[in-house]
Structures are given as C-alpha cells and as structure tokens.
C-alpha cells in the first residue's frame, strides 16, 4: 500500500462518525401565520420519537425571524426510520400577540422510512385552524 492510500484510509476512518451522522437540515420546519401573511419568530418546536409506545424527546428549538428552524434533528445522531412527532407550541405565540387561539399546540406525527431522509414540515397557521404537509 502506498503512502497516499494509507492516508486516505486513515482519514476515512477518522471521519466516519461525521460522515454517517445526520446531515445538517435533515429535518427542517417552517411556520407561516395565514392571518397576517408573516412568519412567527420565537415559536418553540419540539421533536420526539415513538419508542415502545412512549415518546422520547430528541430536540427542541425556536423559530428564527423567518419562522424557520433549518435543522431540528440533532446533528450528532442518525435519523432512523420510525414514527416521530413535531409539536409546534402555538398557544404561547398567540398569547404573546395578545390573541386567543383554539389550539394550544399543534402536534404533527410523521413516518421516516429511510435513514437520514431529508424532510421539511411546514405549518400554515391561524388562530382557529392549521394545515400541514410533507414539504421539500
């Protein structure tokens, strides 16, 4: 084995955990307030995974000025197939706007079918309704 291939092998082993961890942006979310047409900043969003009938907390974050969390899934873990739940804490947002709302939070359950599948979950929100879909 020549020197170059030895270095290549050594470097690939050293960086293997990075190469196989969840890439940044594996799971992103976005909220748009349908009533105002603006994205709500500072909304807490949690991520959980279903395990033996219970929900295990994986991550939590707050939406940025554009109503987005660009990378909610922990970057130091692979996103494995299974059932997950993203919960948007919408009641706190509407309360901060001095508005009432019917839904204190919006849980969105979804299925991951491939390891590190890139997923986007948008939420179109109003005080008394919401809509979501599998985005890209």
Could you tell me which residues are annotated as the binding site?
30, 68, 133
* Binding residue ranges for substrate: 30, 68, 133
Contact 130, 105 (CB under 8 A): no
CA distance linking residue 38 with residue 112, whole number of Å: 29
CA distance linking residue 115 with residue 24, whole number of Å: 14
Q: Are strands 82-88 and 44-51 parallel, antiparallel or unpaired?
A: antiparallel
Contact 30, 77 (CB under 8 A): no
Which DSSP state fits 36?
Answer: T
E-assigned strand segments in 34-74: 44-51, 54-62, 68-69
């Amino acid at each position: 084995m020549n020197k170059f291939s030895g270095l290549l092998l050594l470097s690939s082993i050293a960086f293997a955990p990075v190469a196989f961890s969840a890439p940044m942006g594996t799971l992103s979310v976005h909220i748009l307030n349908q009533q105002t047409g603006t994205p709500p900043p500072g909304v807490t969003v949690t991520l959980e995974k279903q395990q033996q009938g219970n929900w295990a907390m994986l991550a939590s974050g707050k939406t940025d000025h554009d109503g987005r969390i660009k990378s909610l899934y922990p970057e130091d873990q692979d996103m494995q197939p299974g059932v997950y739940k993203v919960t948007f804490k919408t009641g706190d947002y509407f309360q901060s706007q001095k508005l009432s709302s019917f839904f204190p939070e919006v849980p969105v359950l979804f299925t991951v079918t491939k390891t590190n599948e890139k997923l986007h979950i948008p939420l179109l929100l109003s005080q008394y309704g919401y809509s979501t879909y599998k985005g890209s």
